[in-house]
Amino acid sequence: MIKDIIIAIDGHSGCGKSTTSKLVAEHFKYNYLDSGAMYRSVALYLLRKNINYLEIEKIREEINNIKIEFKYVDGIQNTFLNDENVEDEIRRENISKVVSKYSSIPLIRKHLVSLQKELGKRKQIVVEGRDITTVVFPDAEIKIFMTAEIETRAKRRFEDIKFNNPDVTFSDVLLNLKERDDKDTSRSDSPLRIAEGSEIIDTTHLEIDEQVKKITDLIEKRFS
Ligand code: DC
């Protein structure tokens, strides 16, 4: 048992952040918040309404109509957008391609950051994303930055998605990751960066269970 803390995890796309964060949450019997799923849900909602990322006034009108919740289905946490299970749809490549355009919009970020802060109030939570250690929970008891070499990340992602996306090539995935890295690190509002006091975990040569153990050992040592 550890005391009640917030475990904040940021890092690049495709370094095993979500899988690791989920397993760390399971290990400590903590809640898990996938903030990327929230940005993906907003992108899906706006795409369905044909509202592009430049139509700021339309986005402002719609933002409060977007309800995002997480519920367990057969023991697995799923994302619900206005009561519809969108877990599969938000993971598709068409969303991956556009989500960083929407996630760079300050009014969307402000809205989601305040929801995330609310969800973290009671602690006992692992929160994962790009600005969790810097903006959402800069005072989290433990801050972790995960990364890996881009070729390794692209290879892993390609293996994950090729079955459901037979038309996608390795170079598409690599290009998409590069673009997302660029957008995530260069946007003016809350760019991805390493927060002061973060522990850096490079997963290039690690298996998932090794990266989970690294993080859980670190936390147990500090907070038991
Ligand atoms: O982690 P992910 O790939 O599901 O994230 C989807 C997109 O949302 C990605 O382009 C980065 C963005 N994002 C963000 O800007 N801030 C967060 N806290 C989480 C995700």
Assess whether pLDDT exceeds 90 at residue 82.
yes
1 CA to middle of ligand 1, Å?
Answer: 30
- Cα of 224 vs centre of ligand 1, distance in Å, is 31
Give the pLDDT of residue 160.
86
**Predicted local distance difference test score (pLDDT) of residue 145:** 98
**pLDDT for res 35:** 98
Closest residue by Cα to atom 8, ligand 1, is 36
Instruction: For Cα atoms 211, 125, 208, give the angle at the middle one, nearest 5 degrees.
Output: 15
- Counting residues of the chain whose pLDDT is more than 70, the rounded percentage is 100
By alpha-carbon position, which residue is closest to atom 2 of ligand 1?
A: 36
CB neighbour list of residue 200: distance below 8 Å, 6 or more residues apart: 144, 145, 146, 147, 194
Q: How far is the CA of 128 from the centre of ligand 1 (A)?
A: 9
* The predicted structure's pLDDT at residue 164: 82
Q: Which pLDDT value is given to residue 93? A: 82
Residue with CA closest to ligand 1 atom 16: 130
Domains, the chain, with CATH or none: 6-217 (3.40.50.300)
Q: What is the pLDDT of residues 7-41, one digit of tens each?
A: 999 999 889 999 999 999 999 999 999 999 999 99
pLDDT of residue 161: 86
- Structure tokens that stand for 150 in this block: 């881009």
134 in ligand 1 pocket by Cβ < 6 Å? no
CA 103 to centroid of ligand 1, rounded, Å = 7
- pLDDT above 90 (res 165): no
Using one digit for the tens of pLDDT, what is the confidence trace for 117-136? 999 999 999 999 999 999 99
For residue 130 and ligand 1, the question of a CB distance below 6 A is answered with yes
Rounded to the nearest 5 degrees, what angle is found at the Cα of 29, between the Cα atoms of 24 and 35? Answer: 55
Task: Please state the atom number of ligand 1 nearest to the C-alpha of residue 104.
Answer: 15
pLDDT at 59: 98
Amino acid identity at 209: D
Residue-averaged pLDDT of the chain: 96
Q: Is any ligand 1 atom within 6 A of the Cβ of residue 180? A: yes
d(CA 176, CA 183): 10
Query: Does residue 97 surpass a pLDDT of 90?
Result: no
On the question of pLDDT at 67 being above 90, the answer is yes
